Amino acid sequence: MKNIVPVKWLLARLYEPDIVIVDCRFQLGKPESGRAAYEEAHIPGAVYLDLEKDLSAPIGEHGGRHPLQDLATLAARFGQAGISNESRVVAYDDQGGAMASRLWWLLRYLGHTNVFVLDAGFSAWRDVGCPVSSEQKVIIPARFLASVQHNMLIEMDEVRESLGTGRFVLLDSREAPRYRGEAEPIDKVAGHIPGARNLFWAEGRRADGTWKDANEQGERFAGLGLKQDDELVVYCGSGVTATPNVLALEEAGFTRVKLYAGSWSDWISYAGNAVATGEE
């Protein structure tokens, strides 16, 4: 798995100078809990980046619940966290990889490919007796130069214009009841973008919390009839839990994958956008 690293891999490289470990723990609805968990115990040397304060822009009229941060601001924040263009970055969370995958995607979007997600997250690290610490690392700022990969992102207008044309395959990463419009605990409107297929992001993990391998991920996507030359657009509620599906698609060998970062919460912020319910 080229994007996922096991606990033993990180343990063996814990103090190598080019490794930057980033704690991304965050709970929706409890925005302070992630930092509190980090301050209580984290992987030694890890820095903390907050989903809403560091990895998202402030909420506006459009852009969804976790808008993309201004790219210059984001690059500067990575540098402040000690991430340079030469760093090997390992991200972890305790939310099934969703928050860590957001950081993975953002760094890749800014041209930094040497970034990984820790398999099964912080609990797996601690449960096998690996060291933890409450000490906060003295961060030496680094120079991070962005090289934006525009082909990784798609905007709302292009999604809307593509509806009914077959240009893209749309993948909705939310749980099935939200996709079908039967339940909507977060956003103001229930349903999905017309034509989208549903593939819940958490099904990319096994029962023990580890990520499925490339073959297993490939079986997930084959079950939806996806082909590796398809051009895919992945979305979720706010652009966060779509990123584990983007990562899983890359693991399975898909190369034409775009993220609709604003996702459903951005889509419904435009009054004229169509909404579908039920199965497609």
CATH numbers and ranges of domains, the chain: 4-127 (3.40.250.10), 150-267 (3.40.250.10)
Q: Could you list the active site residues?
A: 236
Phi-psi region of 262 (alpha: psi -120 to 50; beta: other; left: phi over 0): alpha
pLDDT at residue 203 in the model:
97
Instruction: Check: CB of residue 100 under 8 Å from CB of residue 118.
Output: yes
pLDDT at residue 29 in the model:
87
Task: Render pLDDT for 203-246 as a digit per residue (tens, 0 to 9).
Answer: 999 999 999 999 999 999 999 999 999 999 999 999 999 999 99
Report how far Cα 153 is from the mean position of its chain's Cα atoms.
13
Task: Give the E-state strand segments of the chain in sequence order.
Answer: 4-5, 19-23, 47-48, 88-92, 115-118, 153-154, 169-172, 197-198, 232-235, 257-260
Question: What is the C-alpha to C-alpha distance for residues 132 and 18, in angstroms, rounded to an integer?
Answer: 20
Burial of 78 from C-beta contacts in 10 A (0-12 / 13-18 / 19+): buried
Mean pLDDT, rounded, of the chain:
97
Task: Give the E-state strand segments of 199-238 in sequence order.
Answer: 232-235
Please report which confidence band the pLDDT of residue 1 belongs to, taking 50, 70 and 90 as the band edges: low
> To which residue do tokens 């470990």 refer?
21
Share of the chain above pLDDT 90, in %: 98
Task: Render pLDDT for 40-65 as a digit per residue (tens, 0 to 9).
Answer: 999 999 999 999 999 999 999 999 99
Please report which confidence band the pLDDT of residue 177 belongs to, taking 50, 70 and 90 as the band edges: very high
Average pLDDT, integer, range 162-178 = 97
* pLDDT higher than threshold 80 for residue 272: yes
* pLDDT higher than threshold 90 for residue 5: yes
Task: Render pLDDT for 74-127 as a digit per residue (tens, 0 to 9).
Answer: 999 999 999 999 999 999 999 999 999 999 999 999 999 999 999 999 999 999
pLDDT at residue 280 in the model:
87
Question: What is the C-alpha to C-alpha distance for residues 200 and 179, in angstroms, rounded to an integer?
Answer: 9
Task: Check: pTM over 0.95? Answer yes or no.
Answer: yes
Task: Render pLDDT for 243-270 as a digit per residue (tens, 0 to 9).
Answer: 999 999 999 999 999 999 999 999 999 9
Average pLDDT, integer, range 127-153 = 97
